[in-house]
Amino acid sequence: MPFGKFKGYYLVNIPEYYYVWYKRKGFPQGKLGRMMQEMDEIKINGLEDLIRKLIK
């Protein structure tokens, strides 16, 4: 994440409540916003462990 409270974190390591807040507020424009929307869907479906395996 390039800014905010979770600056420097991988998107997968950001808590789900942050994505819920952005979903209500509106995701940022561009690539970051699309990636955050995709990560929200991944977290909703409980698939974040698949992404964490790729990080290691």
Distance, in Å, from the CA atom of 56 to the CA atom of 52, rounded to the nearest integer, reads 7
pLDDT of residue 56: 77
Q: What is the pTM of this model?
A: 0.85
pLDDT of residue 55: 87
CA angle at residue 9 from 40 to 4, to 5 degrees?
Answer: 85
| 3-state SS, residue 32 | helix
Domain boundaries along the sequence of the chain: 11-55
* Separation of CA 41 from chain center: 9
| 6-56 pLDDT, tens digit each | 999 999 999 999 999 999 999 999 999 999 999 999 999 999 999 999 987
